[in-house]
Chains A and B, each alone.
Chain A
Amino acid sequence: MSKRVTIDPVTRIEGHLRVDVEVDAGHVKKAWASGQMWRGVENILIGRDPRDAWAITQRICGVCTTVHAMASVRAVENALQLEIPINAQYIRNMIMLAHGIHDHIVHFYHLSALDWVDVVSALQADPGKAASLAQSLSNWNGNSKAEFTKVQDRIKGFVGTGQLGIFTNGYWGHPAMKLSPEVNLMAVAHYLQALEVQRYANKIVSILGSKSPHIQNVAVGGVANALSLESQSVLTMERLLAVKEWMIKLDDFVKNVYLIDVAAIGGFYADWTKYGRGITDYLSVPDIPLDGKGTVFALPGGYIEGGKIESHKPITSFNDKYFLDGVSEAVTHSWYNYSGGNDKSLHPYKGETTPNYTDFQDDGKYSWLKSPTFYGKPMQVGPLPRVLNMLAAGHEPTKKYATAALDLASTVAGAKVGLDALHSTIGRHAARAVGCAVQSDELMKQWDLLLANMGKGDMKTFNKPTFPKGEQMGVGFHEAPRGVLSHWVVIESGVIKNYQCVVPTTWNAAPRNEKNEPGAYEACLLGNPVADPEKPLEVLRTVHSFDPCLACAVHVVDQENNPVVTVRAV
Chain B
Amino acid sequence: MRIVVLGVGNILLSDEGVGVRVVEKLEAEYIVPPEVEIIDGGTCGMEMLDQLEDLDGLIVVDCVRHGQPPATPVLLKGDQVPVFFKTKLSPHQISLSDVLASLELTDTAPKTTVIIGIQPASMSLGMELTPEVAARVPELLATTIAELKVLGITVEARS
Q: Which residues of A contact B (CB under 8 A)?
A: 14, 40-41, 43-44, 56, 59-63, 65, 102, 106, 110, 154, 158, 165-166, 192, 195, 198-199, 202-203, 205, 212-214, 551, 554-556, 559-560
* Complex contact A62–B104 (CB within 8 A): no
CA distance A201 to B83 in the complex (A): 32
Contacts A554-B10, A560-B87; A110 near B46 (Cβ below 8 A): yes
Contacts A59-B11, A59-B43, A61-B43; A554 near B92 (Cβ below 8 A): yes
Smallest CB-CB separation from B67: which chain A residue?
A560
Contacts of B92 in A (CB 8 A): 62, 551, 554
CA distance A60 to B11 in the complex (A): 9
Determine whether B105 belongs to the interface, using a CB cutoff of 8 Å to chain A. Answer: yes
* Complex contact A110–B125 (CB within 8 A): no
User: Contact flags (1/0) for B98-134 with A, using CB distance below 8 Å?
Assistant: 1001101111000000000000000101110000000
User: Contact flags (1/0) for B41-52 with A, using CB distance below 8 Å?
Assistant: 111111111100
* Complex contact B47–A202 (CB within 8 A): yes
Beyond A65-B44, A165-B105, A554-B43, list 9 extra A-B contacts (CB 8 Å).
A59-B43, A62-B42, A202-B47, A202-B49, A551-B43, A551-B92, A554-B91, A556-B123, A560-B87
Contacts of B72 in A (CB 8 A): none
CA distance A560 to B67 in the complex (A): 12
CA distance A212 to B52 in the complex (A): 12
Contacts of A65 in B (CB 8 A): 42, 44
Smallest CB-CB separation from A157: which chain B residue?
B107
CA distance A145 to B137 in the complex (A): 53
CA distance A44 to B46 in the complex (A): 27
For chain B, the bracket of interface size reads 20 to 34
* Complex contact A192–B106 (CB within 8 A): yes
Smallest CB-CB separation from A62: which chain B residue?
B43
* Complex contact A59–B49 (CB within 8 A): no
CA distance A539 to B22 in the complex (A): 41
CA distance A224 to B41 in the complex (A): 21
Contacts of A59 in B (CB 8 A): 10-12, 42-43
Contacts of B123 in A (CB 8 A): 555-556
* Complex contact A102–B47 (CB within 8 A): yes
Report 24 cross-chain contacts, Cβ distance below 8 Å, ordered by A residue: A14-B45, A44-B12, A56-B12, A59-B10, A59-B42, A62-B43, A63-B44, A65-B44, A102-B47, A154-B105, A154-B107, A166-B102, A166-B104, A199-B49, A202-B47, A202-B49, A212-B47, A213-B40, A213-B47, A214-B40, A551-B43, A554-B10, A555-B125, A556-B13
CA distance A158 to B125 in the complex (A): 41
Contacts A59-B10, A60-B12, A166-B102; A213 near B49 (Cβ below 8 A): no
Contacts A41-B125, A110-B102, A195-B106; A213 near B88 (Cβ below 8 A): no
CA distance A213 to B40 in the complex (A): 8
Determine whether B95 belongs to the interface, using a CB cutoff of 8 Å to chain A. Answer: yes
* Complex contact A41–B12 (CB within 8 A): yes
CA distance A65 to B126 in the complex (A): 18
Smallest CB-CB separation from A158: which chain B residue?
B105
The 6 closest A-B pairs by CB, nearest first: A213-B44, A62-B43, A166-B101, A199-B50, A556-B91, A213-B47
* Complex contact B98–A62 (CB within 8 A): no
* Complex contact A554–B46 (CB within 8 A): no
* Complex contact A198–B49 (CB within 8 A): yes
Q: Which of A63, A192, A559 contacts B45 (CB 8 A)?
A: A63
* Complex contact B88–A166 (CB within 8 A): no
Of the listed residues B11, B12, B46, the one surrounded by the most CB atoms of chain A closer than 10 A to its CB is B46
Name B10-41 residues within 8 Å CB distance of A: 10-13, 16, 40-41
* Complex contact B13–A555 (CB within 8 A): yes
* Complex contact B12–A202 (CB within 8 A): no
Contacts of A192 in B (CB 8 A): 105-106
CA distance A559 to B102 in the complex (A): 24
CA distance A65 to B48 in the complex (A): 13
CA distance A47 to B117 in the complex (A): 32
CA distance A61 to B10 in the complex (A): 8
Contacts A59-B11, A62-B43, A166-B105; A195 near B88 (Cβ below 8 A): no
Q: Which of A63, A154, A212, A554 contacts B13 (CB 8 A)?
A: A554
Smallest CB-CB separation from A214: which chain B residue?
B42
Contacts of A102 in B (CB 8 A): 46-47
Contacts of A165 in B (CB 8 A): 101, 104-105
Nearest-CB distance from A11 to chain B (Å)?
8
Contacts of B40 in A (CB 8 A): 213-214
Smallest CB-CB separation from A212: which chain B residue?
B47
* Complex contact A213–B41 (CB within 8 A): yes
CA distance A166 to B11 in the complex (A): 27
Contacts of B107 in A (CB 8 A): 154
Contacts of B91 in A (CB 8 A): 554, 556
CA distance A242 to B133 in the complex (A): 43
Contacts of A43 in B (CB 8 A): 125
* Complex contact A62–B12 (CB within 8 A): no
CA distance A205 to B13 in the complex (A): 26
Nearest-CB distance from A496 to chain B (Å)?
14
Contacts of B47 in A (CB 8 A): 102, 202, 205, 212-213
* Complex contact A214–B50 (CB within 8 A): no
Nearest-CB distance from A232 to chain B (Å)?
18
Contacts A59-B10, A195-B106; A560 near B88 (Cβ below 8 A): yes
CA distance A195 to B105 in the complex (A): 10
CA distance A543 to B150 in the complex (A): 46
Nearest-CB distance from A117 to chain B (Å)?
15
Smallest CB-CB separation from B47: which chain A residue?
A213
Nearest-CB distance from A344 to chain B (Å)?
25
Smallest CB-CB separation from A37: which chain B residue?
B91
* Complex contact B49–A62 (CB within 8 A): no
CA distance A440 to B94 in the complex (A): 29
Nearest-CB distance from A97 to chain B (Å)?
16
CA distance A59 to B47 in the complex (A): 14
Contacts of A110 in B (CB 8 A): 46, 98, 102
Contacts of B88 in A (CB 8 A): 559-560
